[in-house]
Each structure stands twice: as structure tokens, then as C-alpha cells.
Amino acid sequence: MISVNCAACKYLKKKCRFDCIFYPYFPSNNPERFACVHRIYGAKNIRKMLQQLPIHLRVEAAESLYYEAKCRIEDPVYGCGGIISQLHQQIHNAESQVAKVRAQIAFLNSNAHEMESNTNNLIQGHSNIGESQFQIR
């Protein structure tokens, strides 16, 4: 049997085996990562979740578990939900700002068009006055 090390087995004070399910996802150089996930989910639950997934999805699952655990530790009430809520609020604020700017642009465009139309009418009126003066003489 080949001996390897992972943060999970170190944390759990177990001998890490070559077929350890935690080894690829919780390396020994980052022990806080497993400690964080273990604190929220527990080692047995993490093991079950990883074992139930196809191998190609386990890396992403371990990343998600870590991110969610980290968020839950930082914000025990809302966790990731709090971040998602903040992002939705930022999107809503940005959409409102875009709508306001579009309304201002439309208003300015209509004013510019109206001013252009008035200027053209004024210029045509002056040119007609000049023509009529020449015809009278």
C-alpha cells in the first residue's frame, strides 16, 4: 500500500490511503479548506456526496462545498443566499440606472430633434422674407 497525505486524513487523524476519496480535492498544503467544509457538512456527508457523483464532477463539487461552507461560516444566517441577494440587488440597481439613462437619452434626442426642426423653420422663414423683398423692388 502506498501512503499519501491529504488534509482530510490529517484533520481526522487517520492514515491516508492511495484510494482516499478526499486526496484529490483536499490537498495537504491547504488544511483550512477541509476544516471549513468539515465544520459545516461533516466528513461522512462529504464522503457520501463525492462518492455519489461521477468522477468528472467531483472537482466542481468540492469547490462548491468549500465556497458554500466558507460563506456559511462568514454569514451563518444567509450564507451564499446573502451573496446571491446582494448580487440581485446590484443587478436591479444597474437595470434602473440603465433605464434612467435611456429615458434621458430619448428626452435629449427629442429635444434636439425639436430644436433642429425649429431652426430649419426659422431659416426657411428668413429666406422667404429675403425673397419677398427682392420681388417687391
* Confidence grade of residue 4 (pLDDT, cut at 50, 70, 90): low
* Confidence grade of residue 1 (pLDDT, cut at 50, 70, 90): very low
pLDDT at residue 122 is higher than 50: yes
Q: What is the pLDDT of residues 20-72, one digit of tens each?
A: 999 999 999 999 999 999 999 999 999 999 999 999 999 999 999 999 999 99
Burial class, 102, CB count within 10 angstroms (exposed 0-12 / middle 13-18 / buried 19+): exposed
How remote is the C-alpha of 132 from its chain's centroid? Answer: 68
**C-alpha torsion 130→132→136→137, nearest 10:** 20
Q: What is the pLDDT of residues 98-120, one digit of tens each?
A: 999 999 999 999 888 888 877 77
